Amino acid sequence: MLYSKYCQSDFDGYEKIQELGNGAYGKVYLVRKDGELFALKTVPKGIFNDLSEQQLQKEIQIHKKLVHTNIIKLHSYYQDRQHVHMLMEYADGGSLYQKHLTLDEVQEYFTQICNGIYYLHSNNIIHRDLKPENILLKNNVIKLCDFGWSAEVGYNKQRDTLCGTIDYMAPEVSQGKYSFKVDTWSLGIILYEMIHHSVPANPRKYNCPELVQDLIEKLLVPQDERLNITEVLKHPYVKQGQEARQSVLSEHSLNFSKYQVEGLELFNELDVFLEQQDRAIIRMTDIFKPRQSRKVAEQQVTQQTPKKSFFNTILDTLGCMNRSKKQSSG
Q: Which residues are catalytic?
A: 129
Residue 91 annotated as lining a ligand binding site: yes
What is the rounded CA–CA span in Å between residue 104 and residue 119?
Answer: 23
**Which residue type does 48 have?**
F
Nearest by Cα to 159 from 125, 187, 117, 113:
125
Q: Rounded to 5 degrees, what are φ and ψ at 221?
A: -140, 170
139: amino acid identity, one letter: N
Is 41 annotated in a binding site? The answer is yes
165: left (phi over 0), alpha (psi -120 to 50) or beta: beta
Distance CA 129, CA 106 (A): 20
Taking a C-beta distance cutoff of 8 angstroms, is the pair 91, 137 a contact?
yes
136, with CB counted inside 10 A (0-12, 13-18, 19+), is: buried
Binding site members for ATP: 41, 89-91, 133-134, 146
Binding site members: 41, 89-91, 133-134, 146
